[in-house]
Amino acid sequence: MYILYVCLLGLVSHVSSVNANPLIVDDHNLWQRSGKFEGDMVLAPWQKNGVIDTALRWPNRNIPYEISDVFDEQQKAQIAEVLEREYAKTCVTVKPRVNEPDYVYVSGDSTGCWAQVGRLGGRQELNLQTNGCVWNHTIVHEFLHAAGFYHQQSSVDRDDYVTIFWENILEGMAYNFDKYNADFITSFNESYDYASIMHYGMYAFTSNNKPTILPKVR
């Protein structure tokens, strides 16, 4: 499990180049409206230890996927190309499913951008709404959730690096900015990454068009 996440840490930082720094230019926000935990994550009832839970590992660091026919051929090709290109830089293989029992099913329902976190067993869902979520950085972001990653600003030490403006957050959405303790999530001793593709944008869940999260150091 440790090897899987260490070899993916470079990808978490690297793919920020697919889009601008999330803390400077806000991400497309369909994932915010999905109604999922932290906007785009679906957790199983037993899932309590996030990326440090060994039950969430993908065997042999292989993540098979299958794409729904709701996507057109261009979208299917884009999803496959992005996954092949970005994960080729890591020790993890993300490949089209053959007959593997555990796999990620990429759906395109009108429910936003979201994914189940880590390997849950059997077919698990990752949704990329066809008319708003098929962006390169969104594809990579959601597959990193499927690999077991949580959001950067959930880290134990986040208050040393960012300020949360609670007064600007939509009513009922403050839980999306919760941080986790050390027995829930680990950074594997990596430093806080403002540019991570797993970081919220500065206007995430804003109620008044004012920033909800800003870096303490620029």
Is 28 known as a binding-site position?
A: no
Question: Which residues are within 8 A (CB) of 72 and not within 5 positions of it... i.e. 6 or more apart?
Answer: 130
Is 151 known as a binding-site position?
A: yes
Is 14 known as a binding-site position?
A: no
**Which string of b and e fits 38-68 if b means at least 16 CB within 10 Å?**
bbbbbbeeebebbbbbeebbbeebebbbebe
Q: Is 87 strand, coil or helix?
A: helix
Mark whether 81 is an active-site residue. Answer: no
Catalytic residue among 142, 167, 171, 190: 142
Question: Which residues are within 8 A (CB) of 126 and not within 5 positions of it... i.e. 6 or more apart?
Answer: 65, 104, 105, 106, 107, 114, 115, 116, 142, 143, 145, 146
Pick from 125, 193, 205: which is nearest to 154 by CA?
A: 193
Q: Show which residues are catalytic.
A: 142
Residues annotated within the binding site are: 141, 145, 151
Residues annotated within the binding site for Zn(2+) are: 141, 145, 151
